[in-house]
Chains A and B, each alone.
Chain A
Amino acid sequence: MRKLIKPLVFAGALIPFSILIARVFVYPDSLGPDPAQELAKESGEWALRFLVITLALTPLRQITDQVEFVRQRRMLGLFALFYATIHFMVWVAFLLVFRWAAIVEELVKRPFITIGFAAFLILIALGVTSTKSMVRKLGRNWKRLHRLVYLAAGLAVVHLLWILRTNIGEAVFYGALVALLLAYRLQRHLRASKPTPPKV
């Protein structure tokens, strides 16, 4: 029974991707008259959602005492990277149509794009170091490096906020979630570092 969980989560995490593929190749009208923009928006939103889900796993384990949540963390984190990669590729291929000089200029000159790219780079670094051998090799530093996931989430929220500007509802929602998860972690961390009362 337990063996089914990972494949099911994997299949579930692929559903948004399958829907996007279906929309691109089977129902192109569903993307509207500006499909590149729509695709960039959808893929970016899913990258952020998986990032938030990944951040919620440890708190969920702590609340429910179910270890299974934490077992999905690497896979779901990699899915966040997966959707972020699609988001970046859509931007390069469909919005800037491989105009490399323009791409470099945008990465450097538009702050909100720089921030999004920084979040992407962090996710790549985390993805590359996600293997068991990397955990062994990095030892203590692995945990330090992987704390950067909170920075990536924060940057992603700011990236979204910056592109939306006048409709901040969505960004506020995700920002609130990330802040909540960070606060929960922080609060547990502080409680854990308090000296335990002497046993009577």
Chain B
Amino acid sequence: MLIKKPVDIKPSEITPENVFRNRRQFMKESSRLMLGAAVAGSMPSIANAQSSGSLKAPAPAGLVRTEPADWLKNKFANIKSAPDSGPFYTGESLTPYRDVTRYNNFYEFGMDKSDPSSNSGEFKADPWSVEITGEVAKPGTYHLEDILKPVDLEERIYRLRCVEAWSMVIPWIGFPLADLIKQFEPNSKAKFVEFETLIDAESMPAIESRFAIVDWPYREGLRIDEAMNPLTMMAVGVYGDYLPAQNGAPMRLVVPWKYGFKSIKSIVKINFRETMPNTTWNDLQSNEYGFYANVNPDVHHPRWRQDTERRLPQTLFSRQRIETRLFNGYADQVASMYGDMDLSQYF
């Protein structure tokens, strides 16, 4: 199929201008951070984080979790709460914590919705490394602690629309993907970003299942402009607390205007490349799952309609249906990336 060329992104558009102009200074600072050296003074172009005293969606009372590493605990001490309006916030009812963390599609742990929470007991989110490869100035394998050092965590309340026609409203804790990408300085050949999930048969019991016909590891990808869009975030927490395994610990992508399967979990590899990457669901069933997977009520899945969605949790007799919106209601922030692309062809 004819792939439309993405808009060329100049390197100067990827790196913020003040940083781009002070490259030497920024490189000195950030290479110190990359080597895990203690941060002595303040960092360039990082805004002050506000205290997390007033999160819009704090952790439910009495939540008992295993203690994370100290460095992660410290990051969570300073979270900027979601704003009162705008795309990072919605007034729609939040999906309760127990549904967010017990109704998941994470086939590495099993095919039922309750499997990821039941079967992820062996999963270890720490220590964690992410391999950065491809068209970047700073490839390498980085500890998550170092990747997170220069970023500030914020709370964002997004809708998440699954391709199975159900949806949730989830208060994520994370940071813009753009902030992560800038650390590694992609060059002009980086037109696409490719992500990979962890594959570990010991802690992910369903990987060796004979009946789940998925070719592991789980792979996803974005165009570079989609990756740099202010809406795109990397989440390290949910409901004011760090991510449980079943939600993609320790770090997962959240792309709220696309179907949920694009929001890849438990990322271990990020590759910057010139050509469109293969993605797991597109490889499995290309007539059903495309690369773009933009939420679209007018483009039906071959097996079911996409014009409405069941907002979870649902009650049986409520007859409530939500009309699905183009780009999941985030058209203002993302429609311009697709111009006059035929969305029924490039789904």
Contacts and interface: CB of A to CB of B under 8 A. Distances in A.
Q: Do A and B come from one complex?
A: yes
Interface of A: 24, 28, 31-37, 39, 94, 97, 102, 105-106, 109-110, 112-113, 162-163, 165-169, 172
13 contacts: A31-B316, A32-B103, A33-B312, A34-B310, A34-B313, A97-B321, A102-B305, A106-B305, A110-B304, A166-B212, A166-B284, A167-B111, A167-B212
Interface residues of B, number: 30
Contacts of A110: 302-304
Nearest to A167: B111
A175 to B, nearest CB: 12
A113 B305 CA distance: 12
Contacts of A166: 107, 111, 212-214, 284
Interface of B: 95, 99, 103, 107, 111, 113-114, 166, 209-214, 284-285, 300, 302-305, 307, 310, 312-316, 319, 321
Interface core residue of B99, B103, B114, B304 (most chain A CB under 10 Å): B304
B107 A33 contact: no
B147 to A, nearest CB: 32
Contact of A33 (B99, B303, B307, B321): B99
A172 to B, nearest CB: 7
B103 A168 contact: no
A32 B213 CA distance: 26
Contacts of A94: 316
Contact of B312 (A24, A34, A106): A34
Given A166-B107, A166-B284, A112 B166 contact: no
A163 B314 contact: no
A165 B316 contact: no
B316 A28 contact: yes
A33 B333 CA distance: 30
Contacts of A35: 314-316
A34 B211 contact: no
B211 A167 contact: yes
A47 B114 CA distance: 24
Q: Is the interface of B mostly helix, strand, loop or mixed?
A: loop
Nearest to A172: B211
Interface core residue of B95, B285, B303 (most chain A CB under 10 Å): B303
A34 B212 contact: no
A106 B214 CA distance: 28
Contacts of B304: 106, 110
Nearest to B210: A169
A163 B284 CA distance: 14
A34 B103 contact: yes
A44 to B, nearest CB: 15
Contacts of A163: 303
Contact of A162 (B166, B209, B303, B314): B303
Contacts of A24: 316
Nearest to A35: B316
A139 B317 CA distance: 46
Nearest to A171: B211
A32 B113 contact: yes
Contacts of B211: 167-169, 172
B302 A36 contact: no
B99 A168 contact: no
B213 A168 contact: yes
Nearest to A23: B316
B303 A112 contact: yes
A162 B316 CA distance: 25
A102 B308 CA distance: 11
Contacts of B285: 165
A30 B284 CA distance: 32
A37 B166 contact: yes
Which 7 pairs show the lowest CB-CB distances between chains A and B?
A169-B211, A33-B313, A167-B111, A33-B312, A33-B99, A35-B316, A33-B103
A36 B316 contact: yes
A31 B111 CA distance: 17
Contacts of B113: 32, 34
Contacts of B95: 33
B233 to A, nearest CB: 24
Interface core residue of A33, A39, A109, A166 (most chain B CB under 10 Å): A33
